[in-house]
Amino acid sequence: MPSSATVVRMDVEALAKKAKAGDEDAFTALVKVTHADTYTLAHRLTGNADDASDVVQEAYIRAYRNLKSFRGDAKFSTWMYRITANCASTHLSKRRMNHHDELTEFMAPSDNTPVHDPDFVVMNGSLRTALVDALQALPQQMRAVVVLRDVYDLPHDNIAEELGISVTAAKVRLHRARKRLRDLVGDPHESEARRAV
């Protein structure tokens, strides 16, 4: 029997197919099923609830307008992550131009409570908190590559395209982001070992 997560995934792909064919009720259902996941990515990229909500709204409107360009060979979630990454990048660079960016570095996340997800493997709670805090402390452009590559597993070329940088620049930025994270949280392996003692 397929797990509930698999059923939801199958539903999402079926809904995306219907929405692409012009079924607007299917698009509404897609938004309902996927918005919390999209919001989570937007929150991880922007670091605060207000920007995340704006980014999610922009992302779904863009998805709605470009549904015809969604190719069934990619998963809907991957397509949505790419749009969200692009919207977050545009949104945050507009804010930088308005000189308000410094706020994002110091805003505490509004609610990081994990909701039930069958695929979620329990990680030491304090390590997770340390990682989330360290991600928030990264400069926005470093945070984007590490979140998209290491948390969401998007390919380097997709990340480079959505952030408007070269693949090599994305890899260099990823390396620096990982190093900065390690400096902030320590080596996860060593931290876990220390806590186990």
Partner 1 sequence: MTRMKARRAVQCESAVAAVASLATGEEPSNRRQAQHVSECLRCQAAVARDRRLRRSLRQLRGAMIRPNPELLSELLLAISEAAADEASRSRSRTKRLVYMAAAGTAAGGAAAGGIAVAIAMHRHRSTFTAAAG
Query: Which residues would be at the binding site for partner 1 (CB under 8 A)?
Result: 24-25, 27-28, 31-32, 35-37, 39-40, 43-44, 49, 52-53, 56-57, 60-61, 64-65, 109-115, 117, 119-121, 123, 127-128, 131-132, 146, 149-153, 156, 167-168, 171-172, 174-176, 178-179, 181-182, 187-189
Residues 189 and 197: their CA atoms lie apart, in Å, by 13
Cβ pair 29, 15 in contact under 8 A: yes
Q: Which is nearer to partner 1, 106 or 166 (CB)?
A: 166
Q: Which is nearer to partner 1, 54 or 96 (CB)?
A: 54
Report in angstroms how near the CB of residue 107 gets to partner 1 at its nearest: 14
Provide the token pair at 166: 């070269």
Report in angstroms how near the CB of residue 172 gets to partner 1 at its nearest: 5
Residue type, 110: S
Q: Which is nearer to partner 1, 14 or 127 (CB)?
A: 127
Q: How many residues does the chain have?
A: 197
Report in angstroms how near the CB of residue 10 gets to partner 1 at its nearest: 19
Report in angstroms how near the CB of residue 134 gets to partner 1 at its nearest: 10
Sign of the alpha-carbon torsion through 147, 107, 115, 61 = negative
Report in angstroms how near the CB of residue 99 gets to partner 1 at its nearest: 26
3-state SS, one letter per residue, for 71-129: CCCCCHHHHHHHHHHHHHHHHHHHHHHCCCCHHHHHCCCCCCCCCCCCCCCCCCHHHHH
